[in-house]
A and B are shown apart, each in its own frame.
Chain A
Amino acid sequence: MSADVGAMAAAEAGEIRGSGVRNALILIAALFAIWQGIYWWFGDIAIASPAATARYAIGLFGSERFWPHLIETSKAFVAGYALAVVLGLGVGFWLGFHRLSSEVLEPMVVAVYSLPKVTLYPILLLAFGLGISAKIAFGTLHGVIPIILFTISAVRSVRPVLVKTGRVLQLSPAAMVRTILFPAALPEIFTGLRVGFALTLIGVLLAEMFASQRGLGFLLMNGIGLHNVEQIMAITLLIVVFAASVSTALLAIDKRLHRQA
């Protein structure tokens, strides 16, 4: 199964070579140039220009209408991610330790990763009601899986001599996790936390795009009804910029942790 996790990591992380910053800047410039080109080609009817979108996005932060939505999404995301981290680390350490449980359950967790989980959202809505708890649960459902999978493989790849040392010192399970397993497995666990961060965000936004009255996902869908392309594109831009910059920062920390290990 480590092949699957590896594939996930490869697909999710890719690899940065060469001078990252310069390449990133060239890339961003190229993407904006393409966007501007499409705008010139199709004109105002289809899409908004980069400049107009950026103006609209900045304007959003000045409008009172926008803040409650941003706060709603942030709350759901923070709560969903916190739950995913706690659950993911708990289950991950358990399965990483216990051979039989992980052999039984890990393939199931991997299977859930590649399911269209959107279809489960109505069930969560029926169980939690139409509110923030269903969004949180859906975000957690997305984010928890990579955290579990990476934690399992992280715990397993801890060098046996470290665990044996812990046994010789007669550490309790809690002390074993805190003083030996966690520090030794940290780099790979962090990869799981990084991927889980992105997936939780996806889960929360997806939940908001379906049957919600608040949040950024709602504003996106609301833009369709209002035929407000600028609103759609400004929110999309904000989400993309946020997700890409956080993930770049986490990726940099991730790389550093792996180098030190």
Chain B
Amino acid sequence: MKLVVLWRVLVVVAAIGLLEVLCLAGAIDRITMPPPHEIARDLWRMLVSGRMNGAIRKTLTNAAIAFASAAIAGVAFAALLHGHRQTRATLDPLFATYYAVPVFAFYPLLIAVFGLGDLPQVLIGFMLGVVAVIVNTLNGLDRVPRVLAKTAAVNRLGRFRTASSITLPFAAPHILTGVKLAVAYSLIGVVGSEFIMSRGGIGYEISFAYNNFDNATMYPLIVLILALSIAVNALLSRWEQRLRLRRGQR
């Protein structure tokens, strides 16, 4: 296992090193990309100066709102939907094709309806995330053993208590899979829509820097947002793995 990690580090270092050499040798010109060490230096300066703090805060706040509403609404909706077979069967084609439809195509409509505030971006993040939560929660609820449902009935738990103390906890690892996707999707939705058209946020700053040929701002921001989402996803993956191990699953 350790050898694999070593190789992984080596591949990343080699890729960055190759870029550095190509940039310094002039094979990649400065207008296309500054050498990696300059990007790192610019990123450091940018973070220290704090001039992007507003944009970073805006993006993270909107992504957090989109994520939280997708997670809560998704779990609640799935818990409600699980008991209604017919409604669920009717909605199945929607869930099955949902991620094949470019949700971003709705962004211009949302702007036309709600104006160019934060709401359209949050909504896109929400729309991208919520169905992953619903589908995975339903998947988890399907696996709750009947004996648990019977135990709940024997103990005369109401529907709400059954969901909150038995079925949802049992489905937790599956819900977490959906939640993990929702984190990634809400960030993708918010940053992506900021990037296409908005008035602020990291995505906006990247597109603004692109339009001004300001590579010294653009590349550090790109690295920042990529590093941020890799870190968040890695943390969630680790947590998910721990939960699975505790359940005795692989």
Contacts and interface: CB of A to CB of B under 8 A. Distances in A.
A206 interface: yes
A250 B232 CA distance: 33
B100 A198 contact: yes
A251 B210 contact: no
Contacts, number: 197
Given A202-B102, A232-B108, A14 B95 contact: yes
Contacts of A248: 93, 96-97
A111 interface: yes
Given A122-B222, A123-B33, A126-B32, A221 B197 contact: yes
Nearest to B224: A119
Interface string B164-197: 0000000000000110110010011001100111
Interface in A11-56: 11-18, 20, 23-24, 26-27, 30, 42, 46-47
Nearest to B59: A116
Contacts of B98: 14
A175 interface: no
Contacts of A15: 92, 96
A166 interface: no
Contact of A27 (B94, B229, B234): B94
B27 interface: no
Nearest to A203: B102
Given A16-B93, A205-B102, A111 B233 contact: yes
B218 interface: yes
B92 A23 contact: yes
Interface stretch (B49-57, B75-83, B131-139, B153-161): B131-139
Nearest to A127: B32
B206 interface: yes
Nearest to A197: B100
Interface in B9-33: 11, 31-33
A220 interface: yes
Contact of B195 (A123, A195, A210): A210
A24 B93 CA distance: 6
B90 A26 contact: yes
A11 B132 CA distance: 5
Contact of B104 (A26, A105, A198, A206): A206
Instruction: State the main secondary structure of chain B at its contact with A.
Output: helix
A69 to B, nearest CB: 14
B181 A7 contact: yes
Contact of B135 (A10, A122, A198): A10
Contact of B4 (A17, A100, A220): A100
B48 interface: no
Contacts of B111: 224
A66 to B, nearest CB: 16
A3 to B, nearest CB: 7
Nearest to A46: B113
Query: What bracket does the count of chain B residues touching chain A fall in?
Result: 35 or more
Interface in B62-120: 89-102, 104-109, 111-113
B177 A7 contact: yes
A236 B97 contact: no
B8 interface: yes
Contacts of A108: 8, 11
A27 B100 contact: no
A118 B192 contact: yes
Given A111-B234, A221-B197, 10 more contacts: A7-B177, A11-B99, A16-B93, A30-B90, A114-B229, A115-B229, A209-B197, A210-B196, A210-B207, A211-B207
25 contacts: A3-B177, A7-B136, A8-B181, A11-B136, A14-B96, A14-B98, A16-B92, A20-B93, A47-B112, A115-B188, A116-B188, A119-B206, A122-B209, A122-B222, A127-B33, A195-B100, A206-B102, A209-B196, A224-B112, A236-B108, A243-B97, A244-B97, A244-B101, A247-B96, A248-B96
- In order of increasing CB-CB distance, the 9 nearest A-B pairs are A247-B100, A114-B184, A198-B100, A14-B95, A14-B96, A122-B210, A118-B192, A18-B89, A116-B191
Interface of B: 4, 7-8, 11, 31-33, 89-102, 104-109, 111-113, 131-132, 135-136, 139, 177-178, 180-181, 184, 187-188, 191-192, 195-197, 202-203, 206-207, 209-210, 218-219, 221-222, 225-226, 229-230, 233-234, 237, 240, 244, 250
Interface of A: 3-4, 7-8, 10-18, 20, 23-24, 26-27, 30, 42, 46-47, 100, 103-105, 107-108, 111, 114-123, 125-127, 195, 197-198, 201-202, 205-206, 209-211, 220-221, 223-224, 227, 229, 232-233, 235-236, 239-240, 243-244, 246-248, 251
